[in-house]
Structure 1
Amino acid sequence: MTRFLARLLGRLPIGWLQLVHQRGRFAAALSGVAFANVLVFVQLGLMSSMGVSTLRPYQFFQGDILISAADANTLVDGGNVARQWMLQALADPDVVDGMGLFVAMVPWDRGETDISLTTFGIDPFRADFLAPEIAADIDVLQVRDAAILDRLARGLTQEEAAAIRLQTPLSFESQGRTLTAYDTFAGGGGFGGDGYLLVSDQTFLSLFPARSSGAPDHILLRLRPGAQPDAVAARLKELIADPTLRIRSYADAMDEEVRFQQTQRPTGVIFGFGVLIGVLVGIVIVFQVLSADVADHLREYATFKAMGYAQGFFLGVVVEEAVILGVLGFIPGVIAGWGILTLMAKVTTLPLFISFGMALTVFIGTVVFSALSGMIATRRLAAADPADLF
């Protein structure tokens, strides 16, 4: 390592030699940097998972424009939308079709544990509004109380999910009715529910008799090929009589919900603060280690200073130490972070992982903030007078 750094730097790697001179302090410093990296990776993984799980239900459907109530910040909250507005929207020449979308949480008593399924009520004759995987099996929803179940839902074993077929359906009680799952699709648990369930709009209304067929939670619109969703949405805001409705492109609705979940929901804010805390922990640890090292070698540095070495030389040595700490501390940090996220993903079924972009961002951030800590640590040396130290 010493020879490699000597060739890389073109001089004796003083920073490296000072770090390894006290191996106990060096190991403690690496552990601290690795711990900070683990904190950042776990929090970033959770934030990324929140974004992925937020967008997952949008991937079940195909639409160009989404009409929602004014207070509907997500797919599962907010008021209802009158179906008459869909009829008004169809008056626009670029709008070719529309479908009401019903959403509610349905409990499922699994005996030892109760799970909650985000349930969508859809028109079983509108396969063109659904993702291909779901559209291929939508015919089963024409049967009363039939359902398509999320095979990745929490509390559902792989054996149970694999056994669900037309010949061997799975029946369960919910909301005072017996639902029968004839097929499955890939969803997965999220932060708001344990999985997903698809039923027909009529089955949905039988589960929730207080709801009205004329007031779905959202309205999905499909446009003619080549139409611009943003332009059509702007026209619909002028055409539809209710100015309080949220009329936006499907892509904008997805972006807005991710932003809402990560910046306004308490969970997202907590994850963001977790990343900040991890960064601050890393800066403090590296700063403390380098400050102690500068203090221990202050007389040696002062000697070099008296010999005419400029401040840039000392800055280079300390930054060298900081970068080494950042790089070597990153390696165990990313390994431990990957292991923790993998274990959490297995337990929670959340999409927790470390992407290449995430790892690269954390690596660059670790090196940059370590170097920043090193620069701060050299301020004491810049103010030191060699004459006062001897």
Structure 2
Amino acid sequence: MSGLFQRLLGRLPIGWLQLTHNPMRFAAALTGVAFANVLVFVQLGIMNSMGTAVLRPYTFFKADVMISATDANGLTDGGNVARQWLLQALADPDVTGGTGLFIGTVPWDRAEADIGFTTFGIDPARTDFVADGIAGDLALLEVQDAALMDRLARGLTREEAAAIRPQSPRAFETQGRTLTAYSTFAGGGGFGGDGYMIVSDQTFLSLFPARNSAAPDHILLRLRTGADSATVVARLKGLISDETLRIRSYADAGQEELTFQQTRRPTGIIFGFGVLIGVLVGLVIVYQVLSTDVADHLREYATFKAMGYGPSFFLGIVLEEALILGTLGFLPGFAIGATILTVMGKVTTLPLAMTPSMAAIVFAGTVAFSALSGAIATRRLAAADPADLF
């Protein structure tokens, strides 16, 4: 290894030799850097899974514009919207159709594990508002109390989900009624529920008798091909008389909810602080190792300085040590972090996984904070007189 570093650096690898001179300290330093990497990987993985989980229900439907109540920060937040605004929106020449979307939570109390389904109610005739993978089964919802169930729901075994077909439906009691699941679709558990379910708007209203067909949670609109959603949104804000409504493109609605969850909700803020703490832990560990190493070799550095070597030479040595610690500490951190995310994903059914972008960001961050720690650790050498160092 020393020969490899010597060829790469074009000089004796002083930093490598100093690090490996005390194997126990070197191992402890690598362990600390790896621990910081694991902490950052886990927090980033959870934050990424939050983004995936927040945007997932938006993929169940196809819309260009969404009209929501003023306090609706997400699909499941806020008040209801009067259906009369749908009729006003249809007056725009670029709006080709619209439908109401109802949302509520339906519990399934089971002996094995209770499941809470985030349930969407929609007109089963409006297949143009549903994703292609679901639209084919939407006709099944024309039967009263029929449902499409999330086969990836937390608490539902894969064997149970695979057995749900039109020929072998699964009936269960909830909200004082008997729902029958005739088919499944791919959703998955999130931070706010165990899974998803889709029913007709009429079935939804029978499950929630206090709700009114004239007041869905959101109004979805489709535009003619080639229409600019931003332009239509601007026109709709002038056309619809209720100025308190949130009228946005469907894509913007998803991004706004994601931003809200990550920056305004406690969960997202906590995960963000977790990433910051991981970076600070790594920074402190690397700085402590490098500053201790500098203190242990003051006489050697003083000799080099007396011989005429400048600050760049010392900075190069310490940066060499920092990059070695950052790179070699990243490898076990990556392996352990990926394993933890995989296990957590299987246990929680959250979309937790190591991604190439995550690995690249953490590696670059590890090298950067290691280099920063090295630069801080050399400050004493840069300003000191050789005689003082002795």
TM-score w.r.t. the length of structure 2 is 0.99
Tell me the residue number matched to 1:98. 98
2:204 counterpart of 1:200: no
| Alpha-carbon separation, structure 2, partners of 1:112 and 1:49 | 26
Q: Secondary structure at the match of 1:282?
A: helix
Tell me the residue number matched to 1:287. 287
Which amino acid in the other structure matches residue 380 of structure 1?
A: R
Is the contact made by 1:152 and 1:189 (CA closer than 8 Å) also made in structure 2? yes
| Alpha-carbon separation, structure 2, partners of 1:389 and 1:183 | 77
Which amino acid in the other structure matches residue 372 of structure 1?
A: L
Which amino acid in the other structure matches residue 267 of structure 1?
A: T
Following superposition of structure 1 onto structure 2, how do residues 311-390 of structure 1 map, counting pairs within 5 Å? 311-390=311-390
Tell me the residue number matched to 1:71. 71
Tell me the residue number matched to 2:25. 25
| Alpha-carbon separation, structure 2, partners of 1:61 and 1:74 | 15
1:316-368 superposed Cα distances (whole Å, 9 cap, x missing partner): 00000000000000000000000000000000000001111110011011001
| Alpha-carbon separation, structure 2, partners of 1:297 and 1:199 | 72
Tell me the residue number matched to 2:269. 269
| Alpha-carbon separation, structure 1, partners of 2:287 and 2:219 | 55
Which amino acid in the other structure matches residue 283 of structure 1?
A: L
Comparing 270-279 with 379-388, greater Cα deviation is found at: 379-388
Q: Secondary structure at the match of 2:11?
A: coil
User: How far is 1:59 from its partner?
Assistant: 0.3
1:78-99 superposed Cα distances (whole Å, 9 cap, x missing partner): 0000000000000000000001
1:298-323 superposed Cα distances (whole Å, 9 cap, x missing partner): 11101110111001100000000000
Gaps of 5+ in 1: none
User: How far is 1:154 from its partner?
Assistant: 0.7
| Alpha-carbon separation, structure 2, partners of 1:389 and 1:316 | 19
Segments of 4+ in structure 1 off by > 2 A? none
Tell me the residue number matched to 2:256. 256
User: How far is 1:277 from its partner?
Assistant: 0.2
Following superposition of structure 1 onto structure 2, how do residues 1-390 of structure 1 map, counting pairs within 5 Å? 1-390=1-390
TM-score w.r.t. the length of structure 1 is 0.99
| Alpha-carbon separation, structure 1, partners of 2:140 and 2:389 | 86
Which amino acid in the other structure matches residue 115 of structure 1?
A: I
Q: Secondary structure at the match of 1:6?
A: helix
Q: Secondary structure at the match of 1:15?
A: helix
| Structural RMSD (CA) | 0.7
Which amino acid in the other structure matches residue 318 of structure 1?
A: V
| Alpha-carbon separation, structure 2, partners of 1:389 and 1:197 | 71
| Alpha-carbon separation, structure 2, partners of 1:111 and 1:297 | 66
| Alpha-carbon separation, structure 2, partners of 1:225 and 1:189 | 34
| Corresponding residue pairs, total | 390
Is the contact made by 1:169 and 1:182 (CA closer than 8 Å) also made in structure 2? yes
| Alpha-carbon separation, structure 1, partners of 2:78 and 2:107 | 19
User: How far is 1:389 from its partner?
Assistant: 3.6
Is the contact made by 1:123 and 1:201 (CA closer than 8 Å) also made in structure 2? yes
User: Percent identity over the alignment?
Assistant: 74
Which amino acid in the other structure matches residue 360 of structure 1?
A: A
1:90-148 superposed Cα distances (whole Å, 9 cap, x missing partner): 00000000010000111110124322110000000000100011100001100000000
Which amino acid in the other structure matches residue 349 of structure 1?
A: T
Is the contact made by 1:205 and 1:211 (CA closer than 8 Å) also made in structure 2? yes
| Alpha-carbon separation, structure 1, partners of 2:100 and 2:260 | 23
Q: Secondary structure at the match of 1:77?
A: coil
| Alpha-carbon separation, structure 2, partners of 1:341 and 1:299 | 46
User: How far is 1:180 from its partner?
Assistant: 0.3
Which amino acid in the other structure matches residue 235 of structure 1?
A: R
| Alpha-carbon separation, structure 2, partners of 1:331 and 1:344 | 20
User: How far is 1:254 from its partner?
Assistant: 0.9
| Alpha-carbon separation, structure 1, partners of 2:115 and 2:370 | 45
Gaps of 5+ in 2: none
| Alpha-carbon separation, structure 1, partners of 2:348 and 2:286 | 34
| Alpha-carbon separation, structure 2, partners of 1:249 and 1:88 | 17
| Alpha-carbon separation, structure 2, partners of 1:389 and 1:318 | 17
Is the contact made by 1:110 and 1:155 (CA closer than 8 Å) also made in structure 2? no
User: How far is 1:381 from its partner?
Assistant: 1.4
